[in-house]
Amino acid sequence: MAWLDLMNHVALSELSLVFMFREAFGKVVVYKNKMKICCIGAGYVGGPTMAVIALKCPDIEVAVVDISVPRIAAWNRVSCRNLFFSTDVEKHVREADIVFVSVNTPTKTRGLGAGKAADLTYWESAARMIADVSKSDKIVVEKSTVPVKTAEAIEKILTHNSKGIKFQILSNPEFLAEGTAIQDLFNPDRVLIGGRETPEGNKAVQALKEVYAHWVPEERILTTNLWSAELSKLAANAFLAQRISSVNAMSALCEATGADVTQVSYAVGKDTRIGPKFLNASVGFGGSCFQKDILNLVYICECNGLPEVAEYWKQVIKINDYQKNRFVNRVVSSMFNTVSNKKIAILGFAFKKDTGDTRETPAYKNKMKICCIGAGYVGGPTMAVIALKCPDIEVAVVDISVPRIAAWNSDQLPIYEPGLDGVVKECRSRNLFFSTDVEKHVREADIVFVSVNTPTKTRGLGAGKAADLTYWESAARMIADVSKSDKIVVEKSTVPVKTAEAIEKILTHNSKGIKFQILSNPEFLAEGTAIQDLFNPDRVLIGGRETPEGNKAVQALKEVYAHWVPEERILTTNLWSAELSKLAANAFLAQRISSVNAMSALCEATGADVTQVSYAVGKDTRIGPKFLNASVGFGGSCFQKDILNLVYICECNGLPEVAEYWKQVIKINDYQKNRFVNRVVSSMFNTVSNKKIAILGFAFKKDTGDTRETPAIDVCKGLLGDKARLSIYDPQVTEDQVQRDLSMNKFDWDHPLHLQPMSPTTVKQVSCVWDAYEATKDAHGICILTEWDEFKKLDFKRIYDNMQKPAFVFDGRNIVNVDELREIGFIVYSIGKPLDPWLKDMPAVA
């Protein structure tokens, strides 16, 4: 038990500094009588946690109790003046002010929920014993990982057996990683305390906060309601296990395509919205928590009528099992398809290290010329920033669209992006040019970026999933045809892994002896912050052939970015890793959104608050807080298209399990949009026929006018299907764009030739206005579908007075103050938040 020796060493070196620490870090609460804490359960959580509390709180007497004599005997090798280990459970529980319960909650092996539900036998026994022996009021703390709503059951047991004694139940889940538990306890990301939102509950929460305040900074002690705290533990483990399964799913695809999972993980992890932690591919996850907690989460979702959410989380387990089986199969197949009677050395049996736990470019003499084919959302801003940062380079952006190029050469740019206007005005006609003379600029360029559409195919092989590379192939054939000098061709569009190989073949067979080097340099821009992302990128990724010529091309492009990007942020990989990294990053980001949206459904079903759960989960530095905002669903030109492309690539590479895993991200996104529509209809007396619904926001996110794949399309179509009248306002989206979007079939938004006119009936049902107050006038309900800042500042009292009653607000972005709106008189639905009392009596939404 190496960690016991560690604790013993820590105690000897730390105890002499305790009082100095107390003086340095602030006031310590002084109790008239010495506080007594008891922890039932002397295992991996209870023992270390209580030892650190005793070390940091010398004014508190801490007892750890367990019925296992050998276990308590082993613990008594560690000594601390206010820390005791005992088998006299009842005595210490009786005397305690705060009782932590840290007992096993294994997965049930029989009966209802067998193989998924948590077995709360030990917890129930502990609760009955606490009620039986207590002679004074107590705070009972859930330290074990338990299903959401367990506290409710515990309260009932204590209340019915307590003989008038009062108990306050708190949830204080542990977030310890075995191997670093002591470090995690000394310097936690966060301490989470959930309690009843009553005066007594708040008092109990404050009491436990004051214990942790001996050494934990106040801003790291988070408080939520009981259900949010209980769910946050399951959610954190689900998110962590999901990261492992995600990178393991990518590892299979890397092996199938020649990409390197280490390079892909490194590149993906440099995205600050994702981060580098828990991105190491392995044979699979283990330990006592991940599998058990996800199975428990699946069962809870099933019990709450959320089969789509349950199936989503099941995939994390399935991919983990698949990875272990794949490893075994690789061993056997590599050794001539048999290991019979062969000696195999197994190095390592614990689920992770540090624990014994077995549970589960050269300078150019002439001025360099860069050309970018494609003047869209990526090509235009990227080239503008390169021109601004590299005044010694001549940059041309070319496109066959005369109106688009004319717009770039005017004061009304074809796309809205904060900061873009200033950059273009500073560089245009100096070293930045926009032109329709595509062939001329390609012929003269040293480096040619290709940033053309790669939409989802709408017909033929792979329709609905595969990327349509028609524009890319045309660009490659044109480059080969017009070039008179060697060139570097850069993939800027998001393309399937191995696209470079196909492009090389086209260039080689049509080049007339001219040499081309293909590089992959995917973009990682977020619309609304694209200029900021280009000025200060998390990382610039460049993938090339690992040959002398390939390395020279990579260096050439590196030197362009080195004008402003620090060297350590310019990552280089092989071609396939760079191509896959873009798909992987978008898959991981979309998965985070689907994950928190899956949790939002469960929050509504249980009374937890998704904002509190997300905040608590995001305080885990292995997960981080970004992309954890529940919403009506993700949109934009990338996420759905790229995940469908990834699914298709997996299927083509014989990886059906991996393909199914990523499909769930799309399924839960569609489920969330459908759930939102169903909530609107069911709340408004099960019909919105001829009712005016104000749609605030149509772009897929704020600070952009991009409506590609915006959730608003599906929501509006769903409401129109029930014959609602829609009044739509978005500060950056035109009426023509709204009508086009509502007329298009799925995946046709990037195929201009496929556009269909809106039906006359639909035209009558949809109006677009240029003012939120006009949109909401005489409306029965409001749907907030884009998180524009101006929507937070609206005069909702004025809006309410001019609406039909009852007046509904359906907040699909969680941006309004729910309490303020309810006080005005609105009936408010906010995703993942405890339901409005009015809505609790309405039909259930799944």
CB-CB contact of 140 with 103 (8 Å): no
> Is position 344 within any domain?
no
Say whether both 588 and 574 belong to one domain: no
CB count, 10 Å around CB of 516? 21
Domain ends where: 216, 244, 265? Answer: 216
Q: Answer yes or no: are the C-beta atoms of 754 and 463 closer than 8 Å.
A: no
Rounded Cα–Cα distance for residues 75 and 156 (Å): 33
Three-state DSSP class for 572?
strand
496 shares its domain with 439: yes
* 743-756 pLDDT, tens digit each: 877 655 454 444 45
Higher pLDDT residue, 734 or 340?
A: 734
Model confidence at 544: pLDDT above 70: yes
Claim to verify: residue 831 and residue 774 sit in the same structural domain: yes
On whether both 290 and 375 belong to a single domain, the answer is no
> Are the C-beta atoms of 35 and 62 separated by less than 8 Å?
no
Band the pLDDT of 29: cuts 50, 70, 90: very low
For the residues 51-67, what does the mean pLDDT come to?
A: 95
Same domain, yes or no: 560 and 706: no
DSSP 270-323: TSTTT-STT----S---SSSHHHHHHHHHHHHHHTT-HHHHHHHHHHHHHHHHH
> Is there a contact between 677 and 711 (Cβ–Cβ < 8 Å)?
no
Label the pairing between strands 35-40 and 98-101: parallel
Q: Which of 262-271, 595-604, 726-735, 756-765 has the lowest mean pLDDT?
A: 756-765
> What is the mean pLDDT of the segment spanning 721-744?
93
Question: Beta strand pairing status for 487-491 and 447-450?
Answer: parallel
Q: Is the pLDDT of residue 24 over 50?
A: no
**Residue 348 in domain:** no
Residue 350 lies in a domain: no
Name the pTM for this structure: 0.83
State the average pLDDT over residues 601-627: 94
* pLDDT at residue 404 in the model: 95
Average pLDDT, the chain: 88
What pLDDT was estimated at residue 111? Answer: 86
669 in a structural domain: no
Same domain for 710 and 618, yes or no, is: no
Same domain, 192 and 251: no
Q: How many domains, in total, are found in the chain?
A: 4
One-character DSSP codes across 643-655: HHHHHHHHHHTT-
Q: Does residue 655 belong to any structural domain of this protein?
A: no
pLDDT at 224 over 80: yes
Shared domain for 456 and 575, answered yes or no, is: yes
Q: Does residue 609 belong to any structural domain of this protein? A: yes
Domain boundary among 573, 593, 623: 623
The pLDDT, as a whole number, for residue 336 is 79
Amino acid at 493: S
Sequence-ordered list of residues with C-beta below 8 angstroms from that of 492, at least 6 positions apart, any chain = 372, 374, 378, 379, 382, 449, 450, 451, 521, 522, 523
Which CATH number fits the domain that encloses residue 274?
1.10.1040.10
Count the alpha carbons within 13 Å of 418 in the hemisphere toward its beta carbon.
Answer: 11
Q: What is the signed CA dihedral for 751, 752, 758, 759, rounded to 10 degrees?
A: -70
User: What percent of the chain has pLDDT above 90?
Assistant: 67
- Asked whether residue 433 falls in the same domain as residue 528, the answer is yes
Give the type of residue at 670: D
* CATH at 490: 3.40.50.720
- For residues 278 and 234, is the Cβ–Cβ distance under 8 A? no
Q: Say whether the peptide bond before residue 806 is cis (omega within 30 degrees of 0).
A: yes
What pLDDT, on the 0 to 100 scale, is given for residue 751? 45
Q: For 182-220, how does the pLDDT look when each residue is reduced to its tens digit (9 = 90+)?
A: 999 999 999 999 999 999 999 999 999 999 999 999 999
* Domain identity same for 249 and 181: no
Query: Over 50: is that where the pLDDT of 18 sits?
Result: no
The answer to whether residue 446 is domain-embedded is yes
Can 390 be counted among the known catalytic residues? Answer: no
Nearest one of 409, 345, 349, 340 to 375, comparing CA atoms: 409
pLDDT digits (tens, 9 = 90+) for 430-487: 899 999 999 999 999 999 999 998 888 888 898 888 888 999 999 999 999 999 999 9
Find, among 30, 43, 52, the residue nearest to 188 by Cα. Answer: 52
Q: Which of 427, 638, 650, 783 is catalytic?
A: 638
Last residue of a domain, one of 607, 623, 639: 623
- My answer on whether 62 and 207 are in the same domain is yes
Distances (CA, A) of 661 to 189, 246, 282, 640: 30, 8, 17, 14
Q: What's the domain range around 6?
A: 2-216
Q: How far is 632 from 814, CA to CA, in rounded Å? A: 9
Answer for the pair 140, 99: CB distance below 8 angstroms, yes or no: yes
Question: In this predicted structure, what is the pLDDT of residue 846?
Answer: 58
160-174, 235-249, 829-843: the lowest-pLDDT one: 829-843
Domain for residue 676, yes or no? no
**What pLDDT, on a 0 to 100 scale, did the predictor assign at position 497?**
84
Is residue 33 pLDDT above 80, yes or no?
no
What DSSP line would sit under 60-88, residue for residue?
EEEEEE-S-HHHHHHHTTS-BTTEEEES-
A 10 A CB-CB count for 492 gives 22
pLDDT > 60? residue 3: no
Select the more confidently predicted residue: 55 or 323. Answer: 55
**726 pairs with which residues across the strands?**
693, 766
What lies within 8 Å, CB to CB, of 798 at 6+ separation is: 773
Question: 550 and 443 in one domain?
Answer: yes
Please, what is the Cα angle at 550 between 546 and 555, to 5 degrees?
Answer: 110
**CA pair distance 434, 754, nearest whole angstrom:** 27
Residue 4, pLDDT score: 35
Tokens of 171: 């949830």
Segment 18-22 shows an average pLDDT of 29
